[in-house]
Amino acid sequence: MKAAPVIRAISAFNGVDQFVVHTGQHYDFNMSDVFFQELGMPAPQFNLQVGSASQAQQTAQIMSRFEAVVLQEKPDLVIVYGDVNSTVAAALVCSKLLVKVAHVEAGLRSFDRTMPEEINRVLTDQVADLLLTPSEDGNRNLAREGVDAKRVFLVGNVMIDTLVRMLPRAEQSVIEDVPERFALVTLHRPSNVDDLTWLSKMLDSLQAISKELFVVFPVHPRTRERLAAFGSKRTNGTVKLLEPLPYLSFLALQRRATAVITDSGGIQEETTFLRVPCLTVRENTERPITVDKGTNILVGRDLSRLQREIELILLGTRKVGQVPPLWDGHAAERIAKVIVSQS
Q: Which helix (H) or strand (E) holds 333?
A: helix 331-342
78 SS3 class: strand
Write the secondary structure of 110-176 as one string of H (helix), E (strand) and C (coil): CCCCCCHHHHHHHHHHHHCCEEEECCHHHHHHHHHCCCCHHHEEECCCHHHHHHHHHHHHHHHCCCC
Catalytic residue among 103, 188, 220, 330: 188
Distances (CA, A) of 257 to 37, 44, 271: 25, 33, 10
Q: Do the Cβ atoms of 100 and 78 come closer than 8 Å?
A: yes
Instruction: Classify residue 103 by burial, with Cβ atoms within 10 Å: 0-12, 13-18, 19+.
Output: buried
How far, CA to CA in Å, does 223 sit from each of 148, 185, 194, 303? 40, 12, 8, 18
Distance CA 28, CA 46 (A): 17
Q: What is residue 219's DSSP assignment?
A: P
Strand partners, 183: 215, 259
Assess whether 330 carries a catalytic annotation. Answer: no
Burial of 77 (0-12, 13-18, 19+ CB in 10 A): middle
Conformation bin of residue 14: beta by default, left when phi > 0, alpha when psi is -120 to 50: beta
- DSSP per residue, 307-332: HHHHHHHHTT------PPTT-SS-HH
Distance between CA atoms of 49 and 86, rounded to whole angstroms? 12
Cβ contact 123:92 at 8 Å: yes
Say if residues 62 and 90 touch (Cβ distance below 8 Å): yes
Q: Catalytic positions, please?
A: 188
